[in-house]
Amino acid sequence: MLWRFLRGLLFRLDPERVHGLVHALLRRVPAPIAARRRPIADPCLAVSCLGLHFDSPIGLAAGFDKGDVSVAGLLGLGFSHLEIGTITPRPQPGNDRPRLFRLPEHQAIINRMGFNNAGAVACAARLAALPAAARMGPVGLNVGRNKATPNERAEEDYLACIERLHPFADYLVVNISSPNTPGLRQLQEGDALDRLLRACTSRLAALAPGKPLLVKLAPDLEPGALDEAVDVAIGAGVAGLVATNTTLSRAGVEGHPRAGEAGGLSGAPLTRRATEVVRRVARRAAGRVPVVGVGGVMSAEDAYEKVRAGAALVQVYTGFVYGGPAFPRRLGEGLARLLARDGFATVGEAVGVDLAHG
């Protein structure tokens, strides 16, 4: 009720301004207070994955914290983990504003932020200053290339980020699926993907043996290309697959005054497509590596569907914008209820149970 009222006020302001205000607040939350207020997840939600412990599958997807490092504030709300980024080696301003659009009628967002961030050096400095108590759950670092770097030299950018950021990351994610950096998604194709991921996994293995490196995929890949990307990525030694990023499709929002804005669409219109992709990726991966399911998780039911489709972990972004600070707690509680209803003792038992159908 209170959140609905507050949201009504906040949604009158420019979305980026609200985002800035929220971080200004969250960044200042002292770790001990965040830890005290952090909801305790039902033990049935605990996940052991990527060699890490997660209190629940529910994490905050990349892009919300692009290097502000509001770790205690965000994990204190009840996310089991947080993915910071996308971080590029050098600072960059991102695309011109406006570049972030709400479509409340559809519980959706269109963004073309373009990896606005302060760069890997600044992000590493903030992470280095982070008190250990703020790390109430795994912190992932999602990395990308600078806009000015051509794809032929992308590898240098990813490796520079990995070198700089790996000491502070519980896991790393190679982002090659943002639609807002021209040409980036071409790195998802066969040989380019193979070369890039092999370079990244072998560098990380040399720097920090055993630290997991994942790759994040787009929801817009054709089924054959998706299968190939999964095989190539696993062949190159990734520890997990994140599916999905935002979509270029406008299915479900046609006719909305902001549907014509360039950028990636997220939220409710992406739910079904992202779940289909999770299912396909999980089926192809066939247990070789875990899948992180992202895209249009707006309720506990949506999170449960991602799990049943094969996601060991579930991340949210747009649902948090619409659902507010209690959203991660609500998802966790709802998911625990759904698992109990269907007779699962742990969330792990439900992972992939729908893979046989659909």
Ligand X SMILES: Cc1cc2nc3c(=O)[nH]c(=O)nc-3n(C[C@H](O)[C@H](O)[C@H](O)COP(=O)(O)O)c2cc1C
Instruction: Catalog residues that contact ligand X under the rule CB under 6 A.
Output: 61-63, 66, 85-86, 100, 109, 111, 113, 115, 142, 175, 178, 216, 245-246, 266-267, 270, 294-297, 316-319
275 and 309 in contact (C-beta within 8 Å)? yes
Q: Is the CB of residue 245 less than 8 Å from the CB of residue 86?
A: no
CB nearer ligand X, residue 116 or residue 201: 116
Least Å distance, CB 272 to ligand X, is: 12
Q: Which residues contact 142 (CB under 8 A, 6 or more apart)?
A: 62, 83, 84, 85, 86, 87, 172, 173, 175, 216
Between 64 and 344, CB nearer to ligand X: 64
- To the nearest whole angstrom, how small is the minimum distance from the Cβ of residue 92 to ligand X? 12
User: Whole-number minimum distance, CB 95 to ligand X, in Å?
Assistant: 11
Q: Which of 81, 108, 84 is nearest to 23 (CA)?
A: 84
Q: Give me the numbers of helices (H) and strands (E) for the chain, helices first please.
A: 13, 13
Q: Which one, 175 or 188, has the nearer CB to ligand X?
A: 175
In the complex, minimum distance from the CB of residue 98 to ligand X, in angstroms, rounded to a whole number:
12
Q: Which residue, 216 or 329, is less far from ligand X as judged by CB?
A: 216
3-state helix, strand, coil in the chain (%, to 5): 45, 15, 40
Edge-to-edge strand list for the sheet holding 100-103: 100-103, 108-111, 264-267
Q: Which helix (H) or strand (E) holds 47?
A: strand 47-49
Q: Which residues contact 41 (CB under 8 A, 6 or more apart)?
A: 55, 56, 78, 80, 332, 336
Q: Distance between CA 97 and CA 94 in Å, rounded?
A: 9
Minimum CB–partner distance for residue 244 and ligand X (Å): 6
Q: Is the peptide bond before 219 cis (omega within 30 degrees of 0)?
A: no
Residues β-bridged to residue 265: 110, 247
The residue among 31 and 77 lying less far from ligand X, judged by its C-beta, is 77
Residue nearest to ligand X (CB): 63
Of 54 and 317, the one with the shorter C-beta distance to ligand X is: 317
Is 48 an active-site residue?
no
Rank residues 31 and 230 by Cβ distance to ligand X and give the closer one. 230
Q: How far is CA 58 from CA 69, 77, 144, 214, in A?
A: 18, 11, 23, 17
Catalytic residue among 56, 80, 177, 178: 178
Alpha carbon distance 149, 128 (integer Å): 27
Nearest approach, Cβ of residue 84 and ligand X (Å): 9
What residue type is assigned to position 179 of the chain?
A: P
161 CB contacts (<8 Å, ≥6 apart)?
87, 88, 89, 120, 141, 143, 144
Rounded to the nearest whole angstrom, what is the least distance from the CB of residue 270 to ligand X in the complex?
5
Give the residue numbers marked as catalytic: 178
